[in-house]
C-alpha cells in the first residue's frame, strides 16, 4: 500500500536521463562560454523556464496521481473517492513546496555548469564564438522576440507559424535579413540547425537531473502524509 501511495505522488515528474561525462573545459572555452551565456541573457531565460517547470511539475504530480488512482483496480469506489479528496486537499501545499524549491535554485551556477557540461561536447571554441556573435546581433534578437510572439499567436488563432513568419519578414531590415540568411547557410548555422534541438533537450535533461532528487523528497514526504491520512 505504501508503495502505491508513493507512486501516486511522484508519477509525472520523473524525467531522468544519464548524461555523458565531458572533460573539464579549458580556460579559453570557459571564457567563450561565459560570453555565450551573457549575450543571450541565459540566466533570465532559465528563470522563466524554471518558473514554468515549477507550475507544470506541481500540476503533473496531481494529474499523475489522479491517473494512477483511476487505473487502480484494487480500490473500492469509497476508497477511491476518499484518496481523491485527500489529494485535492493537499494540492495547494504540494504546489507551494515545488514552487518554493524552484525559486530557491542557484540559477546562475546551474546555467554555467549546464552550459560547460554540454556545449563543449558538441562545439569547439571558435564555433561557440561564432554562435555568440550571431546571438548578439539585432537579427537574432528580433528573431527570438518575434518567434515568441508568433508561437503565442499561432496557439490562439491556430494559424500556421510559417504563414505568420511571412508577415513578420518585413520587420527585418535588409541587412538583418542578409545576416540571417548568411548565418543559416554557414557551417555553424547548418550545424546548429542539425543538432540544436538535441543540445536543448540535453540541457533540459541536465535541469531535471538536478531537480528530481529534491522533488522526490517532496513526493516521498507527501506520500507519507497521504499514507497517514488514509491509515490513521
Q: What is the pLDDT along the chain (232 residues), one digit of tens a residue?
A: 344 444 444 434 333 333 345 568 999 999 999 999 999 888 888 888 787 777 776 676 677 677 777 777 777 888 878 888 888 888 888 888 888 888 888 989 999 999 999 999 999 999 999 999 999 999 999 998 999 899 889 989 999 999 999 999 999 999 999 999 999 999 999 999 999 999 999 998 998 888 888 877 887 787 777 777 666 5
Burial class (CB in 10 A: 0-12, 13-18, 19+), 208: middle
Number of domains in the chain: 1
Q: What is the pLDDT of residue 191?
A: 97
Q: What is the pLDDT of residue 205?
A: 92
Q: What is the pLDDT of residue 232?
A: 55
Q: What is the pLDDT of residue 230?
A: 64
Q: What is the pLDDT of residue 11?
A: 39
Contact 29, 122 (CB under 8 A): no
Q: Which residue range forms the structural domain that includes residue 68?
A: 2-230
Q: What is the pLDDT of residue 20?
A: 41
Amino acid at each position: 500500500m505504501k508503495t502505491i501511495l508513493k507512486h501516486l505522488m511522484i508519477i509525472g515528474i520523473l524525467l531522468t536521463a544519464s548524461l555523458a561525462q565531458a572533460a573539464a573545459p579549458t580556460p579559453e572555452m570557459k571564457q567563450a562560454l561565459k560570453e555565450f551565456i551573457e549575450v543571450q541573457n541565459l540566466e533570465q531565460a532559465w528563470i522563466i523556464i524554471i518558473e514554468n517547470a515549477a507550475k507544470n511539475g506541481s500540476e503533473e504530480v496531481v494529474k499523475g496521481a489522479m491517473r494512477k488512482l483511476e487505473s487502480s483496480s484494487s480500490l473500492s469506489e469509497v476508497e477511491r473517492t476518499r484518496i481523491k479528496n485527500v489529494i485535492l486537499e493537499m494540492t495547494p501545499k504540494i504546489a507551494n513546496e515545488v514552487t518554493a524549491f524552484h525559486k530557491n535554485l542557484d540559477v546562475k551556477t546551474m546555467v554555467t555548469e549546464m552550459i560547460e557540461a554540454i556545449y563543449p561536447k558538441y562545439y569547439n571554441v571558435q564555433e561557440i564564438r561564432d554562435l555568440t556573435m550571431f546571438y548578439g546581433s539585432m537579427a537574432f534578437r528580433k528573431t527570438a522576440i518575434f518567434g515568441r510572439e508568433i508561437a503565442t499567436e499561432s496557439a490562439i488563432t491556430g494559424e500556421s507559424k510559417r504563414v505568420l513568419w511571412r508577415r513578420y519578414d518585413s520587420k527585418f531590415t535588409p541587412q538583418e535579413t542578409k545576416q540571417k540568411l548568411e548565418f543559416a547557410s554557414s557551417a555553424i548555422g547548418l550545424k546548429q540547425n542539425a543538432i540544436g534541438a538535441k543540445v536543448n533537450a540535453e540541457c533540459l535533461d541536465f535541469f531535471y537531473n538536478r531537480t528530481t532528487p529534491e522533488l522526490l523528497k517532496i513526493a516521498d514526504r507527501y506520500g507519507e502524509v497521504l499514507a497517514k491520512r488514509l491509515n490513521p
